[in-house]
Amino acid sequence: SEIYLQGYGGTSPAFTTDLTRVEAAAEKVLEPGPFSYVAGGAGSGSTARANREAFDRWRIVPRMLTGATERDTSVTVLGETLPAPVALAPVGVQSIVHADAEAATARAAAGLRLPMVLSTASSTSIEEVAAESGAGPRWFQLYWPNDPDVCGSILARARAAGYSVLVVTLDTWSLGWRPCDLDNGYLPFLRGEGTAVPFSDPVFRSRLDAAPEDDLPMAVLRWISMITGTDRDWDALPFLREHWDGPIVLKGIQHVDDARRAARAGVDGIVVSNHGGRQVDGAVAALDVLPEIAAAVGDRLDVLFDSGVRTGADVVKALALGAKAVLLGRPWVYGLALGGEDGVRHVLRGLLADLDLTLGLAGHRSVTGLTPAALTRAGR
């Protein structure tokens, strides 16, 4: 790849190629409020740390003379063939890190043909982001409003705008206890950021006494009350089927019984995820529950994974432990902060190149052939 050849040829890139260091670089360009909002985790941060430690406990065991000079990183997931097993995790409020926000991310993702999962908490409307995505794959993430007409309207807009896969986030029916944001007094939504999807929705607007432009705090509170504290159970899922004719994925699954329940409910996929450690402090590392979940339901639905992926080696490990594809969160958000569309593209291209090279040097010719046999536990 270009970055690799330039780097080894003596030309440094505009941003670091060490995806474990983009966070520190982004901290220099962001205000403390937005930086902590992105980087922070729930409570003491132990879940976010555990996500990384879990990756370190697995080691890749490289194989030699396997003919891995030619590699294929493509994968078919949720009925779509992707050039690599990587999608951009849903991340709301992107205008807090860069003025170009979701539009920049959409262009960078589309250029690489990777799916961008557009958040319901987007600071840019569904239709605008769709236009920026061009022919790129697009998935939509739902924070599920308790008003069925508002929910139906948002889903109809996403379908009309060409979104194929619906990712329903289950783990955030209330925001986690995030001391950084509490201490900074920072909630982006109350600053008018990250509410473009509902605020541009005609049905949501019809529920308000005044337009969001005229009474922002009221509109924000109305929206937050619509997506939080909702008393819902597994019997609610058929509603989604009625309003979405493409694949449906449940995000935030961490217990094998919930994965089995999802399979019985007939959804097309799950994301094994603890929301990057932002919801339950002390929660199990997402990677630690992946093997059991993949073994239990991997033949019935597509198992995706996120929380803690930072390098190509991490992708190899997650795939070897049963994920079909991973979602990447914070690293490209830091790229967006550092350089808008170019920054997102830089991070994604670096990860893809690192993945391709690590796969090959470990002796594997395709991502689909990875099994637990590619790994060992550290210290063995």
Q: Which is nearer to ligand FNR, 251 or 346 (CB)?
A: 251
Backbone phi, psi, residue 214, to 5°: -95, -25
Mark the segment that binds ligand FNR (CB under 6 A) among 54-62, 148-156, 237-245, 305-313.
305-313
Active-site option among 98, 243, 275, 364: 275
Q: What is the nearest approach in angstroms of ligand FNR to the Cβ of residue 94?
A: 8
Alpha helices in the chain (DSSP H): 2-8, 22-29, 32-39, 46-56, 101-111, 126-133, 148-160, 179-184, 196-199, 202-206, 216-227, 237-243, 256-264, 286-297, 312-320, 330-361
> Binding to ligand FNR by residue 41, rule CB under 6 A?
no
Which amino acid, 124? T
Q: What is the nearest approach in angstroms of ligand FNR to the Cβ of residue 102?
A: 11
Number of residues located near ligand FNR, criterion CB under 6 A: 23
Instruction: In whole angstroms, give the CA distance from residue 45 to residue 261.
Output: 29
Query: What are the beta bridge partners of residue 76?
Result: 81
List the one residue from 54, 77, 121, 126 that touches ligand FNR (CB under 6 A): 121
List the one residue from 36, 307, 311, 358 that touches ligand FNR (CB under 6 A): 307
Return the structure tokens found at 24.
Answer: 């520190």
CB-based contact 333:94 (threshold 8 Å): yes
255 is catalytic: no
Q: Which is nearer to ligand FNR, 275 or 364 (CB)?
A: 275
Instruction: In whole angstroms, give the CA distance from residue 118 to residue 258.
Output: 24
Instruction: In whole angstroms, give the CA distance from residue 248 to residue 142.
Output: 10
CB-based contact 26:337 (threshold 8 Å): yes
91 is in an annotated binding site: yes
List the one residue from 212, 308, 322, 339 that touches ligand FNR (CB under 6 A): 308
Binding mask 236-255 for ligand FNR (x = CB under 6 A): ---------------x----
- Per CB under 6 A, contacts with ligand FNR among 145-174 are 169
Mark the segment that binds ligand FNR (CB under 6 A) among 157-165, 202-210, 327-335, 345-353.
327-335
List the one residue from 304, 328, 348, 374 that touches ligand FNR (CB under 6 A): 328
Distance set, CA 69 to CA 40, 155, 166, 361 (Å): 39, 44, 36, 8
Please list the active-site residues: 275
Binding residues for glyoxylate: 37, 143, 178, 251, 275, 278
Positions in the binding site for ligand FNR (CB under 6 A): 37-38, 51, 89-92, 119, 121, 141, 169, 251, 273, 275-276, 306-309, 328-330, 333
